[in-house]
A and B are shown apart, each in its own frame.
Chain A
């Protein structure tokens, strides 16, 4: 590994051997011990990864090409599960559409909200620490409890949300039972937990050198200008991290849907992972469920790759020099 390679890198005083390759330097005892310890300490993770992640993942690729009820032996069906999902399933495209709708709106919106709050809490206001705690607090509440709270919040007549809307003359929708409003309701609920991103952004803000602001101030930059020209570029690595995590998390949204709507009404809020769960563990179609998982995997990879591909244009690292 790196320990070995470092000793074998050309130009470090090793003489090239007859075959043109540097001869393998004999590992000094303390290095050998270090390597052994490395493997010793990494092994729980490696074993866990192989047994609980890689193994089941490979098994599920196989399963996705079979029909398996989990009791009788799997039956090989080739690409049938994928073909059925993509061409003949009555809800699959609707479900993927719902999931994309949720992810594409909730992730940028959540990032904007958490950036706004972070900027607010970075100001020198009284009780700043208290506010920071309060903003992070929703993030600590289990999603199950959050769902129960929002079940009340979204109640069509008696819920505080629609009561507030009625104060300004708007008749609020029947959030969780109306096909048009159930996804916006879930997105609204996701915003309540934007405080998680806020904490990371605040930490990032603390790391921005004060000199940059001093220089900007001398140059006569307004606070708005300072935000966009100093704070924001300096925060882009954190924002990028939030984006990737947001994409992965939102495509895998499960508990909120499962608890709050069960995917209803008529699959208007059904998402990819709850559908996968239904197929595999309620309907005993393990193969079909595995195929959904792999399609979802490809979709998440594609969006993540897209984010990485564009990141060069807008993510700045401190040490980086831009022309």
Chain B
């Protein structure tokens, strides 16, 4: 037996070992060794005091795998470019046992509303400039479950995407002077997802000269799967137009307050918000 034959046998044996590991590591998972389920009903609670939305539930994992499994999950609400909230947790599921990954996240309703406002214009289509509009809006929820076993030799991931958005229609009305704006938007949420709460938050956009756009944005979900978002905006002093203050804010800077709390927006968020407001005003027949 020469050295070439020995080399071939060794490589062949190593190849067979790799193939065997591949088959033995994948077979249990391919034949249902891991059963991942989610709680039928996620608990959605709204805290009026903190104005936060708490969503709780469990990802349940029953493992029949012959190895311990390292698991982690990441939940992202909003788009990848514009996430509202994200969270991650990890755990180990011992071989042949059942475990769960708790989902419990708190979202500020102001964050949700801001997201809604920014995606409102980009998602909506309007054929008219009389202030009426209708369309669909998107609120993606992505759950990513990552797992590995045999010293991370084999990994797997499960990604589930939900669109918690729905359809919406509404009307925007602006006074002739361009200092007051009112809107009522009716949104229809997907079946199985009801947000039966009422909440209101106030916002204030102040430009560098101290002129401000004051508004309230409220949500009434008491009727079940249909909710009503109301927007009421006015300027201070009333002699200055909404368009003028927004223009001044976008060009010269200023502050944004939500429920009395100053928030800092990234330049991208500011542009998105500005585009959304411009678009909404455009629907109402006001050109910035």
Asked if A and B are interacting partners, one says no
